[in-house]
Amino acid sequence: MAVDYATLKKGGFMRQKQKNNFSLRLRVVGGNLTAKQLAKIAEVSENYGDGYVHLTSRQSVEIPFVKLDDVEAVKDALAEGDVEPGVCGPRVRTITACQGEAICPSGCIDTYALAKELDDRYFAKELPHKFKFGITGCQNNCLKAEENDVGIKGGIKVSWKEDACIGCGVCVKACRQGAITLEDGKISVDNSKCNYCGRCFKACPTDAWDTIHGYIVSFGGLFGNSINKGETIIPFIENKEKLMEICDAALNFFAENAKPSERFKFTIDRVGREKFEQRILEVYNG
């Protein structure tokens, strides 16, 4: 009987060089796995693989040396531990994320919650080629957001509260962009220099800043055979609903315009960056 390798690959089973052996990629969202999931993955790798797993560059887990005859048994066993196969091929891939503000002192947004929302919205969505989202919580950029087709970076927009300020100058020292000055007891912020890192707000001993937590989005990143740093169009997006609309617009632009096996960056280049920017700005401006 003929083996449908395309369907197997779509379901996360990637052919190995060894005949009738597959490396199974699992569905991992934002780099998070529960203890229950980890235990089941270990059990399955011991019973159906070669006793080990591989951690991929995109926060997923692969179980190598799964035999063709065991594919269905492996899926059933994993389901007992709330583990699902991932996806490969021309579709939305694993949503990667750092730990964000829930864990990291530098974090500006809840990266895992956003990763889960994007995964629920787009997981395995069929497209002309693979499409990657990456979410990083702050300007430290641990997840290297600009390497992704759509990269999302957390940020904080600040405005000074004069009545709460004691003029200590801690925020001036905390700012790495030289955007804040203190003169005659008054704080000034040069918005053209601000990168929304939030370090001033986090360092302030008297909570002398009003804040808006939001998103810096880049488009068209690549880090493979070709390398390209994703570029922003809108400096700062304050609203999560608007962020989701912009993500929808980017995916729809790709689906409508890309040739088969063409990455997002090359679709933007071929169709015209001006047209893509216009689409994003139309959505942003509502």
User: What is the full DSSP assignment across 67-86?
Assistant: EGGGHHHHHHHHHTTT--B-
Measured distance CA(172)–CA(199) in Å, rounded: 10
Q: Is 115 exposed, middle or buried (0-12, 13-18, 19+ CB in 10 A)?
A: buried
Average pLDDT, the chain: 97
Q: Choose the final residue of a domain: 48, 79, 110.
A: 79
Provide the domain limits for residue 105. Answer: 96-285
Same domain flag for 12 and 129: no
Helices (runs of H) and strands (runs of E) counted in the chain: 9, 13
Which of 24, 125, 29 shows the shortest CA–CA distance to 76? 24
pLDDT at 123 over 90: yes
Is residue 85 one of the residues assigned to a domain? no
Q: How confident is the model at residue 159 (pLDDT cuts 50, 70, 90)?
A: very high
Alpha-carbon separation of residue 281 from 82, 234, 237, 274, 276 (angstroms): 40, 8, 11, 10, 9
**Which CATH number characterizes residue 182's domain?**
3.30.413.10
**Taking the model in full, what pTM does it have?**
0.95
Mean pLDDT score, 268-272:
98
Q: pLDDT digits over 26-82, tens only? A: 999 999 999 999 999 999 999 999 999 999 999 999 999 999 999 999 999 999 999
Same domain flag for 236 and 278: yes
Name the CA dihedral angle for 244, 247, 249, 251, rounded to a multiple of 10 degrees: -140
Is residue 177 one of the residues assigned to a domain? yes
110 phi/psi in degrees, rounded to 5: -85, 95
The reported pLDDT for the residue numbered 2 is 79
Q: Which residues pair with 96 in a beta bridge?
A: 134
Q: pLDDT digits over 191-213, tens only? A: 999 999 999 999 999 999 999 99
Q: Which residues pair with 159 in a beta bridge?
A: 210
Is residue 55 one of the residues assigned to a domain? yes
The reported pLDDT for the residue numbered 8 is 96
pLDDT at 105 over 80: yes
Same domain flag for 52 and 177: no
Tally of domains in the chain? 2
Same domain flag for 53 and 137: no
Same domain flag for 248 and 127: yes
Is residue 89 one of the residues assigned to a domain? no
Alpha-carbon separation of residue 258 from 92, 148, 164 (angstroms): 14, 17, 52
Same domain flag for 45 and 144: no
HEC string for 178-210: CCEEEECCEEEECCCCCCCCCHHHHHCCCCCEE
Q: Which residues pair with 222 in a beta bridge?
A: 228
Q: pLDDT digits over 203-243, tens only? A: 999 999 999 999 999 999 999 899 999 999 999 999 999 99
Same domain flag for 61 and 27: yes
The reported pLDDT for the residue numbered 3 is 85
Is residue 86 one of the residues assigned to a domain? no
pLDDT at 1 over 80: no
Is residue 90 one of the residues assigned to a domain? no
Same domain flag for 21 and 108: no
Same domain flag for 67 and 171: no
What percent of the chain clears pLDDT 90, i.e. is strictly above it?
98
Measured distance CA(113)–CA(69) in Å, rounded: 37
**Which CATH number characterizes residue 32's domain?**
3.30.70.3340
Is residue 91 one of the residues assigned to a domain? no
Is residue 227 one of the residues assigned to a domain? yes
Q: How confident is the model at residue 175 (pLDDT cuts 50, 70, 90)?
A: very high
Q: Choose the final residue of a domain: 79, 113, 132.
A: 79
Q: Is the dihedral of CA 160, 140, 97, 255 positive or negative?
A: positive
Same domain flag for 249 and 109: yes
Same domain flag for 117 and 168: yes
Q: Choose the final residue of a domain: 30, 50, 79.
A: 79
Q: How confident is the model at residue 20 (pLDDT cuts 50, 70, 90)?
A: very high
Same domain flag for 261 and 152: yes
* DSSP, residue by residue, 202-250: HH-SS--EEEEEEEEEEE--EESSSEE--EESSS-B--HHHHHHHHHHH
Contacts of 163 (CB under 8 A, 6+ apart): none
pLDDT at 91 over 70: yes
Q: Which residues pair with 92 in a beta bridge?
A: 131
